[in-house]
Amino acid sequence: MKTSKLEPEDTRLSALLRESRESPSLPPHFREYVWRRIEHGEKPDSLPAGFAWLDGLAARLLRPGFALACLTAMLVAGALLGVAQGTNLAKQEAQARYLAAVAPNPLH
């Protein structure tokens, strides 16, 4: 068995390794297409055309200010609905007590 140390400066070996690497061929006019997209600022289509609005909605919802405003609006709406329901329940209980005080149930 031959044991020889390869020097890092071996140019023949480097050239042979470079030749053995296979690089995939690019489609025709690939560079022109890429530069045209960069110049126009085009984004690749990630969603079908019918769902493009969903991407915009997600981007808007992920903004901290908008998310905080939505959270605040939901908390205020929940509190108002809770107060309204509590008021309605208190009104119903007051009516039931009044009815019980004025016309007691003869069966009890």
- Sequence spans of domains, the chain: 27-102
> Does residue 6 contact residue 13 with C-beta atoms inside 8 Å?
yes
pLDDT score, position 73: 96
pLDDT digits (tens, 9 = 90+) for 33-69: 888 888 887 666 566 667 778 878 888 888 999 889 9
pTM of the model: 0.43
Positive or negative, the CA dihedral 25, 28, 29, 35 is negative
CA angle 93, 76, 88 (to 5 degrees): 15
